[in-house]
Amino acid sequence: MSMKDFVKEFQKFALKGNMIDLAVGVVIGAAFGKMIDSFVKDIIMPPVGALLGNTDFSNLYILLKDSAVHGAPYASLAAAQAAGAITINIGLFINTVISFIIIALSIFVVISMLNKLQRSAQKAQDAATKQCPYCMSTIDIKAVKCPFCTADLKK
């Protein structure tokens, strides 16, 4: 395959509607993920932390190994990491789990609404169509002649 054929083939592939839809979906999904992360960190977790005694979840961690340079205690997770301490970042994990749950719930709601719309559109289409008794094709309900097999249909 020549380079010219390769470029032509890639152009056909890249300009397909599905490819563009996928690209738009990825961009919107990334923006949605950032929005949900901000929602969890900036809106949900501060009140939860306040209810649990002014806990900042992003700074919850377990110290596995102290830094050789600076000893514990550290003022924050960032300070511990900057000092080179080894930590398990529980608070960041909790934020990520909550973000995942909110994203999964949001996607479930959107998919449920889309499925409901598709079902109602299908019902409307089914109400406006009938099946030809001869060739079993789906045709308009007002048809008196099948456009597929040309059979005359009873009214």
The predicted model scores a pTM of 0.61
Q: How far apart are CA 119 and CA 141, in angstroms?
A: 19
Domain of 11?
1-55
**Helical (H) or strand (E) element with 140:** strand 138-140
**What is the predicted pLDDT for the residue at 149?**
94
Q: How far apart are CA 21 and CA 29, in angstroms?
A: 12
Give a yes or no: residue 114 inside a domain. no
Strand runs labelled E in 35-84: 62-65
Packed helices 90-127 and 17-38: angle between N→C axes, nearest 10 degrees: 140
**What is the predicted pLDDT for the residue at 155?**
58
**What is the predicted pLDDT for the residue at 60?**
87
Give a yes or no: residue 28 inside a domain. yes
Q: How far apart are CA 140 and CA 142, in angstroms?
A: 5
**What is the predicted pLDDT for the residue at 17?**
67
How many separate domains does the chain show? 1
Give a yes or no: residue 16 inside a domain. yes
**What is the predicted pLDDT for the residue at 107?**
85
**Helical (H) or strand (E) element with 11:** helix 3-14
Give a yes or no: residue 82 inside a domain. no
Task: pLDDT tens for the chain, 155 residues: list them.
Answer: 789 899 888 888 777 767 778 888 899 889 988 888 888 888 888 888 888 787 777 888 899 888 777 777 888 888 888 888 889 999 889 888 888 888 888 889 988 998 999 999 888 888 888 999 999 999 998 999 999 999 998 75
Both structure tokens of 108: 């479930």
Q: Taking Cα atoms as reference points, which of 132, 129, 130 lies closest to residue 150?
A: 132
Give a yes or no: residue 36 inside a domain. yes
Give a yes or no: residue 86 inside a domain. no
Give a yes or no: residue 51 inside a domain. yes
Give a yes or no: residue 31 inside a domain. yes
**Helical (H) or strand (E) element with 80:** helix 77-83
